Amino acid sequence: SEVLTVEHLRKIYNEGKPQAKTAIDDVSFTVSKGEFVCIVGPSGAGKTTLLRCISGLAKASSGTLAFEGTPLTAVPDQLGLVFQDYGRSLYPWFTNAKNVGLPLAARGMPKAQRAERVSEVLAKVGLGHVEKQYPWELSGGMQQRVAIARALSYKPDLLLMDEPFASVDAQTRFDLEDLILTVRRELGITVVLVTHDIDEAIYLSDRIVVLSGSPSRVREVVDVPLGRE
Ligand code: ADP
Ligand code: ADP
């Protein structure tokens, strides 16, 4: 079954104004349940814009977006988001455990149940020992693990990641890539990950969607089936 459907998506920033800017011209692709899809393209190809439209953070100018068969109108509750800028996505005045539990609190999960789920998900990303510490006490790679744990806390049907490993050193990146692959395998989660790094896309994904064209205008989408388990 299809988790995500993107049909003839177009995004023009400042539409109708002199400074109008087409970020996405015509993008179509689908993501099936359990798939790991990477979206690659050069800087300015519209990758971030695409993820912002999918996650409801930006409004598409035209085209169709559907999540599990339902047209997207608001930010879907079953969406996990991880951005490059993990440093700013965690609240420094909350412990790591509290940061991870925020989406659960927002969904009204009782405290005891929340604590249990937070411990479980932090252990899954290898950070069971830093529950009571604060994000700023951790390395960049560990902070990104906390951000991933937070996105996984409410068992999202779709995990959306925008250049999640771009701000960490090479070894940490390899560790995080393997973590994501393990988590994905164990949870059977559907993942869409944006990267400008084709090697990363080949290593991680089942399918690659290539955004190409001049910087501000996406001309085509190419699906590259990798035939990998
Ligand atoms: P819109 O309301 O057109 O969807 P946003 O709310 O996403 O646009 O952005 C608000 C404003 O911020 C834009 O009108 C634009 O002038 C400015 N802006 C933000 N990021 C960029 C960027 N990467 N390039 C140019 N302008 C930008
Ligand atoms: P990528 O993530 O592939 O680097 P982006 O989605 O950030 O590409 O940007 C695509 C194009 O849209 C770029 O030309 C960028 O300058 C422009 N853009 C991005 N955000 C805004 C915005 N808020 N307002 C105006 N233009 C924007």
pLDDT tens digits, 118-162: 999 999 999 999 999 999 999 989 999 999 999 999 889 899 999
- Cα separation, 145 vs 164, in Å, equals 10
Going from the C-alpha of 62 to that of each of 11, 17, 121, 178, the distances in angstroms are 7, 17, 37, 36
The CA distance from 94 to 151, in Å, is 16
pTM of the model: 0.83
CA distance 52 to 132: 32
* Cα of 13 from ligand 1 centre, angstroms: 6
Q: Is 164 in the pocket of ligand 2 (CB under 6 A)?
A: no
Q: Report pLDDT for 89.
A: 84
> Is 214 close to ligand 2, i.e. is its CB under 6 Å away?
no
CB of 124 closer than 6 angstroms to any ligand 2 atom: no
Report which of residues 35 and 56 the model is more confident about.
35
Is the Cβ atom of 44 under 6 angstroms away from ligand 2? yes
Q: Residue 90 — very low, low, confident or very high, per pLDDT cuts 50/70/90?
A: very high
